[in-house]
Amino acid sequence: MSGHPAEEVKIRLKHGEWEVEVVCIESRVKQVVESVLSSLDTAKIMGPEVQSQLDALRREIVFLKTRPIAELVPEGQQQQQQKVTTKSGITCRGLLENLWFEGFFVSERSLGEVHEELSRRGYNYDRTAVSHSLTDMVRENILTRIGTMRNYRYIQKRPPNNTTAQA
């Protein structure tokens, strides 16, 4: 190679229904061909209709995450739904959402108060688990927090759609 630019190679690939022409330098042929073939296999699996269905499902998931739980359950089934959830086991986050739905966060609550209320109800979660779930609810604009680090107080940012608290 006496000062000449690297030689270009032109390759035509046929794979299934696809036909691709690749132009690259000789030293990168293997890498480029492998990359093209793996892309074609992925494209074959993810056809346009499958991709559009996945996109629609992703949009629906994002939409559902932004809605409060009470909004997703018909009014007559809300209390029944809460009873069923309690029997089958519930997460720390689910318990906090129930507190929010019941109006517990209408006034400012410290982490200690929230943890104590869960314990009073018979759920003994670690304070860090409660703190992480509260932080997630702050990120999702369900609650807001006031104060400084290690001294936050949590209050609802928006009320549940059903404005009457269920005691």
Q: For the chain, give every domain's residue range.
A: 8-65, 77-156
Judged on CB neighbours under 10 Å (0-12, 13-18, 19+), 109 is buried
* pLDDT tens sequence across 35-85: 777 666 555 556 667 667 777 777 776 666 565 555 555 555 555 444 444
What pLDDT shows up at residue 116? 93
pLDDT at 158 over 70: yes
Give the confidence band of 113 by pLDDT, cuts at 50, 70, 90: very high
Judged on CB neighbours under 10 Å (0-12, 13-18, 19+), 142 is buried
pLDDT at 88 over 60: no
What pLDDT shows up at residue 20? 80
What pLDDT shows up at residue 165? 45
- Return the CATH number of 77-156, one of 3.30.420.10, 1.10.150.120, 1.50.10.10, 1.10.10.10: 1.10.10.10
pTM given for the model: 0.45
Give the confidence band of 5 by pLDDT, cuts at 50, 70, 90: low
In this predicted structure, which of 77-86, 90-99, 108-117 has the lowest mean pLDDT?
Answer: 77-86
The closest alpha carbon to 166, from 118, 122, 101, belongs to: 101
Q: What is the mean pLDDT of residues 108-116?
A: 93
What pLDDT shows up at residue 54? 72
Q: What is the mean pLDDT of residues 113-134?
A: 91
What pLDDT shows up at residue 32? 78
What pLDDT shows up at residue 37? 72
What pLDDT shows up at residue 163? 47
Q: What is the mean pLDDT of residues 15-19?
A: 71
Note whether 24 and 32 are within 8 A (CB): yes
